[in-house]
Chains A and B, each alone.
Chain A
Amino acid sequence: MTTDTNDMSPHGGATEAKGLKSYLASHMREFGLLFALIAIMVFFQIVTAGTLMRPVNITNLFLQNSYIIIMALGMLIVIVSGHIDLSVGSVMGFVGALAAVLIVNHGVPIIVTVAICLAVGASIGAAQGYFVAIWRIPSFIVTLAGMLVFRGLSLWLLEGQSVGPFPKSFQVLSTGFVPEIFPAVIGDNLAAFFGARNFNVLSFALGLIAAGAVIRMGLKKRARNALYGIADEPPGLFWARTAIIAAAIIFLMFKLSTFRGLPNVVVTMGVLILIYAFITEKTVIGRRVYALGGNEKAAKLSGIKTERLTFLAFVNMGVLAALAGLIFAARLNTATPKAGFALELDVIAAVFIGGASMSGGSGKIIGAVVGAFIMGVMNNGMSIMGIGIDYQQVIKGLVLLAAVFFDVYNKNKQA
């Protein structure tokens, strides 16, 4: 089984600080993942002759992967709790179809449609969670059934046709960009300075703020660890890692600013990532999910309502799948019966590449997000290179296997 070192706590595992090497060895998973993502990006940047990092492509990269990442957040919780959800691709397609039928065919207001769709997602999750949590039917079976049912229902709803296009006000859900709130003169000057056609100051400002926050939070954590005498990563490594992350954020935001700015969906996604990272690492309910997946019987005997928690994990997954469905439909500007087909596999692969364990109890939000980006960058890079879909599948499969093998190999070596 794949398990990361999973300390779950921001403090990290207390290894005796024997310097850089031992720290790296015990945090192989986290650093390995980050390095893998960087290596893959550098590789494709070179082989695509710089196309990968062009502002328009970075924007696309985010748009293409936003719904996968959003679903990966829910999937991580489902997998940590010891289950799996195979139905998310179908549910996503179904909700997109529902939105199209409501808006395009029946003229239902967008805000009402969004509310209905999210509620439907929650209900679907509740229905599946009911069978898994209360009747203890393996989630693999329940959600396999759900996958077939909702694929069929999308076809029925759309009568086999594509339905679209959506009104502009719905499309902004996915393809809109944050507005400019600063005076145009600042943007024009900066654009001229950087030699770009235009420059979205707000996007770049948000990037600077985010980078600042990363550094601030890292320092705060270090100070607290020092206070409690907890062995932390060596200072050199801390600064290198923090600098890379901060620089990467600023770099990406700069690139986006010189195109059309920050896409709305990236804001949504970023907020959700923060919320879910917080829930899983800092809250009682998050802690209980890890306990449930780590040892259900022990969790139950510790007073944790394991059935309810399992149920909620599926409800949450349903809502996120619905949200992903809306974003996907808005991006394509049409709902098709094929939407979301086989997407559950990408979502699940992202979570496992990100270091979650098949047997439950371990895995991190940030891991799932990086896992999704690894898959996303590879998809995008290989498409730019013109590699056929046949080879793409083979390569993605091998990457998944390699990531999990890396985990297992490390674990055996430590034991």
Chain B
Amino acid sequence: MTMLLEMRSITKEFPGVKALDRVNLQVKAGEIHAICGENGAGKSTLMKVLSGVYPAGSYDGEIHYEGSVAEFRGIRDSEHRGIIIIHQELALVPQLSIAENIFLGNETARGGVIDWHEANHRTEALLKKVGLKESPMTIVDSLGVGKQQLVEIAKALSKDVKLLILDEPTAALQENDSQKLLDLMLDLKAQGVTCIIISHKLNEVRYVADTVTVIRDGMSVSTLDAKQGLSEDDIVRDMVGREMSDRYPERDRRAGDILMEVQDWNVWHPEHAERQVIKNISMSVRAGEVVGIAGLMGSGRTELAMSIFGKSYGRRIGGTVKLHGQPTDVSRVDRAIAAGLAYVTEDRKSLGLILDENIRFNTTLANLQGVSSNGVLDGNEETTVAEKYREALRIRTPSVFQKVGNLSGGNQQKVVLAKWLNTAPEVLILDEPTRGIDVGAKYEIYAIINQLSAEGKGVIMISSEMPELLGMCDRIYVMNEGAFVGELAADEASQERIMSLIVDEKG
């Protein structure tokens, strides 16, 4: 079989980070090629290089496509050559109809006047190909996520696609919608379309893929032939086969009494009322314990945390939260804070900080009572408090009057932590506390977490980085599709075990 695409020794650097390091990828014409790897391994970066989002010249290495060197300067270039990428976040305009979406930017127009008759007619043919029976005039918003995904594929087909790239296409889909999508991929393969699929769901990879390339830490680790009875364990081993070094500060592991318990926690989606996001979860945290929640993106970790923290996510929330054995009302954020909970968000820029304001403003925001009397703020006290945390957390800035929007990611994260430490919480839920910050700052955040545990606080740590959970936690809950699928003590946990717990559940 001839190669449709060859990416040779692709290296892509961002300031301070090597996202891709001499990655090789060979895709045969007419096959389905899966790319596997952990979050942050470099899969999406590689696809952005391929599709021209990072234009030729901004990376090292060569792309050979259809037998010649290709230098894509932008997404239009690659689309022109038949390379179409469908992102995890769908790029449809919800208020427009299917036909309008499919021909968006590529309208069936003469002299600027759109021929709707032709557009609808051609859309109908495309929809038939992807197995949709909807009218072309249907508004996209009224379709479910699964069908929207199919509309995206129909849109790709309208552009004479040769190489279709699907980035986690089933992440948001229900079981039967996923199956439909995978079957469609096999269908397209039969029609001669080459596909690249990025997926965490290894059972799906095994179902559709001919070849699997595993990427880890920005390097291509292995290329596996999936037709020769490839097992999921083989893929998992290559995905997580990283050396563990002492990237985590030592800590006295001494868990005390149970601080917080969550029992029979159920949450439904805020908009799609029939979708249950959190299914019957029970968990506990002891004083001085660091408890991890492992799971892939979209497994419901953030939704769990936010629904506990003052019902900040979801509706029809059911279950009990107990603190020190007593059922506690945490149904509003202010009550949750008063009860001793703190939630450090995964999205510090849009949910954690007020970027236009200074460090002092942000530090005291969740506990203004502490720096005021009778509702009148004491500016000096505020400064004192902010200075205290600036020193304790080593926030690197000349003064607490610096705008937080101008700080580095690590320092911003420390300001969010400062805000929550200032509420004197007993239980802290840290959602991806080290996302997007550099290695040095990560170590400092770990040290802060250890300090909190030494003070007898309970810490719940949500992370996509498994080594981090293994290095930091006393106990790890494994979460998948809104439910806990396992619980591992520190000494029995390993990346392979966590991965296989997730994968088994899916299989």
Write out, one digit per residue, whether chain A residues 255-273 have a CB within 8 A of any chain B CB (1) or not (0): 0000000000000000000
B142 beta carbon closer than 8 Å to chain A: no
Smallest CB gap from A281: residue in B: B377
Contact B356 A6 (CB under 8 A): yes
C-alpha spacing A383/B324, complex, angstroms: 72
Find the A residue at minimum CB distance from B423: A303
Q: Given contacts A230-B399, A303-B337, are A361 and B312 in contact (CB under 8 A)? A: no
B365 touches A302 (CB 8 A): yes
Considering the chains assembled together, what is the distance between the CA atoms of A301 and B352 in angstroms?
A: 8
In the complex the two chains form, is A282's CB within 8 Å of B353's CB?
Answer: no
Known: A295-B350, A301-B333, A303-B366. A290 touches B399 (CB 8 A): no
A135 within 8 Å of B by Cβ? no
Binary CB contact string for chain B from 339 to 365 against chain A (1 if under 8 A, 0 otherwise): 000010100001111111110110001
B132 at interface by CB-CB < 8 Å: no
Q: Is A284 an interface residue (CB 8 A)?
A: yes
Assess whether A136 is interfacial by the CB under 8 Å rule. Answer: no
Query: At the interface, is chain B mostly helix, strand, loop or mixed?
Result: mixed
Kindly supply a per-residue 1/0 record for chain A positions 2-22, scoring 1 wherever the CB is within 8 Å of any chain B CB and 0 otherwise: 010011111111101000000
Partner of B368, one of A13, A287, A294: A287
A10-B376 Cα distance, complex, nearest whole Å: 14
Interface residue count on the B side (C-beta < 8 Å): 38
Q: Is B494 an interface residue (CB 8 A)?
A: no
Query: Can you list, as one digit per residue, whether each of B269-308 has a CB less than 8 Å from chain A (1) or not (0)?
Result: 0000000000000000000000000000000000000000
A230, A284, A300: the one contacting B401 at CB < 8 Å is A230
CB-CB under 8 A for A301 and B312, given A228-B380, A284-B372, A284-B377: yes
A284-B350 in contact (CB<8A): no
Distance of A287 Cα from B358 Cα, bound (Å)? 13
Given A283-B375, A302-B365, verify A9-B356 contact (CB < 8 Å): no
A294/B379 in contact, CB under 8 A: no
A residues less than 8 Å from B82 (CB atoms): none
Chain A residues, Cβ within 8 Å of B334: 303-305
What string of 1s and 0s marks CB contacts (under 8 Å) between B369-410 and chain A? 100100111011001000000000000001111100000000
Q: A282-B376, A282-B377, A294-B357 are in contact. Are A300 and B398 (CB under 8 A)?
A: no
Q: Which residues of A contact B337 (CB under 8 A)?
A: 303
Cross-chain contact B356 with A362 (CB below 8 angstroms) = yes
- A304 CB → nearest B CB, Å: 8
- Verify B419–A300 contact, CB threshold 8 A: no
Q: How far is the CA of A6 from the CA of B369 in the complex (A)?
A: 23
Instruction: Answer yes or no: A285 CB below 8 A from chain B CBs.
Output: yes
Report the separation of the CA atoms of residues A3 and B2 in the bound assembly, to the nearest whole angstrom: 58
Chain B: minimal CB distance from A229 (Å): 9
Which residues of A sit under 8 angstroms from B332, Cβ to Cβ? 305
Docked CA distance A298–B352 (Å) = 5
Inter-subunit contact B354/A9 (CB<8 Å): no
B310 within 8 A of A: yes
Complex formed: what's the CA distance from A287 to B360 in Å? 12
Whether a CB of chain B sits under 8 angstroms from the CB of A29 is no
B372 with A7: CB separation less than 8 A: no
A303 to B343: give the CA distance in the assembly, Å: 11
Chain A residues positioned under 8 Å from B358 (CB to CB) = 7, 9, 13
Task: For the complex formed, measure the closest distance between the CB of B118 and the CB atoms of chain A, giving whole angstroms.
Answer: 38
A216: interface (CB < 8 Å): no
A408 to chain B, nearest CB (A): 15
Say if the beta carbon of A331 comes within 8 Å of chain B. Answer: no
Which residue of chain B lies nearest to A306 when distances are taken between CB atoms in the complex? B333
> How close is A25's CB to chain B, nearest CB, in angstroms?
16
CB distance from A221 to the nearest CB of B (A): 10
Q: Is the CB of A295 within 8 A of B310?
A: no
Complex-state Cα separation, A322 to B368, whole angstroms: 32
**A284: shortest Cβ distance to chain B, in Å?**
5
Contact residues in A for B351 (Cβ distance below 8 Å): 297-298, 301
Given contact pairs A7-B401, A295-B350, A303 touches B333 in the complex (Cβ within 8 A): yes
Look across to chain A and name the residue whose beta carbon is closest to the beta carbon of B377: A282
Q: Which residues of A contact B361 (CB under 8 A)?
A: 8-9, 287, 290-291
* A301-B345 contact given A14-B399, A287-B377, A291-B365, CB 8 Å threshold: yes
Are A14 and B401 interface neighbours, CB within 8 A?
Answer: yes
Q: How far is the CB of B337 from chain A (nearest CB, A)?
A: 5
Least Cβ–Cβ distance between A224 and chain B, in angstroms: 7
Are the C-beta atoms of A295 and B343 separated by less than 8 Å? Answer: no
User: CB within 8 A of A228: which of B345, B352, B355, B383?
Assistant: B383
Q: Please give me the residue from chain A that is nearest to B350 by CB atom.
A: A297
**Contacts A11-B379, A305-B334 hold; do A295 and B353 have CB atoms under 8 A apart?**
yes
Chain B residues whose CB sits within 8 angstroms of the CB of A302 once the complex forms: 333, 365-366, 419
A288 close to chain B: CB less than 8 A: yes
A299 in contact (CB, < 8 A): yes
For the complex, what is the distance from the CA of A155 to the CA of B312, rounded to whole Å? Answer: 46
> Which chain A residues border B372 with CB–CB below 8 Å?
283-284
Report the separation of the CA atoms of residues A132 and B406 in the bound assembly, to the nearest whole angstrom.
32
Tell me the smallest distance from the CB of A309 to a CB of chain B, in Å. Answer: 12
Using CB atoms, name the residue of chain A closest to B345: A301
- In the complex, which residues of chain B have a beta carbon less than 8 angstroms from the beta carbon of A299? 354, 365
Question: How distant is the Cα of A302 from the Cα of B398 in the complex, in angstroms?
Answer: 25
Residues of B within 8 A of A294 (CB): 354-357
- In chain A, residues 273-293, which have Cβ atoms closer than 8 Å to a Cβ of chain B? 282-285, 287-288, 290-291
A257 to B380 Cα, complex, angstroms: 39
- Shortest Cβ gap from A133 to chain B (Å): 15
Q: How far is the CB of A342 from chain B (nearest CB, A)?
A: 32
C-alpha gap A16/B400 in the complex (Å): 13
The smallest beta-carbon distance between A83 and chain B, in angstroms, is 17
Query: A295–B355 contact, CB under 8 A?
Result: yes
Given A298-B351, A298-B353, the answer on whether A284 and B369 have CB atoms closer than 8 Å is yes
What residue of chain B has the Cβ atom nearest to residue A5's Cβ?
B403
Nearest CB in chain A: distance from B133 CB, A: 35
Cα of A299 to Cα of B350 in the assembled complex, Å: 10
In the complex, what residue of chain A is closest to B364 when comparing beta carbons? A287
Instruction: For residue A134, give the distance in angstroms from its CB to the closest CB of chain B.
Output: 15
A298-B312 contact in complex given A14-B401, A284-B368, C-beta closer than 8 Å: no
**In the complex, what residue of chain A is closest to B371 when comparing beta carbons?**
A284
A11 to B350, Cβ gap below 8 A?
A: no
| Complex interface: chain A residues within 8 A of B398 (CB) | 14, 16
Q: Which residues of A contact B343 (CB under 8 A)?
A: 301
Closest 9 CB pairs of A and B: A14-B401, A294-B354, A303-B334, A302-B366, A14-B399, A303-B333, A284-B368, A295-B354, A303-B337
12 A-B pairs with C-beta separation under 8 A: A11-B401, A16-B398, A283-B376, A284-B372, A284-B375, A294-B356, A294-B357, A298-B352, A299-B354, A301-B345, A302-B365, A361-B357
Given contacts A290-B354, A298-B352, A301-B333, 19 further A-B contacts (CB under 8 A): A12-B401, A13-B358, A13-B401, A14-B400, A224-B380, A282-B376, A283-B372, A283-B376, A284-B368, A291-B354, A291-B357, A294-B354, A297-B351, A299-B354, A302-B333, A302-B365, A303-B337, A303-B366, A362-B356
Chain A residues close to B by CB (< 8 Å) = 3, 6-14, 16, 224, 228, 230-231, 282-285, 287-288, 290-291, 294-295, 297-305, 361-362
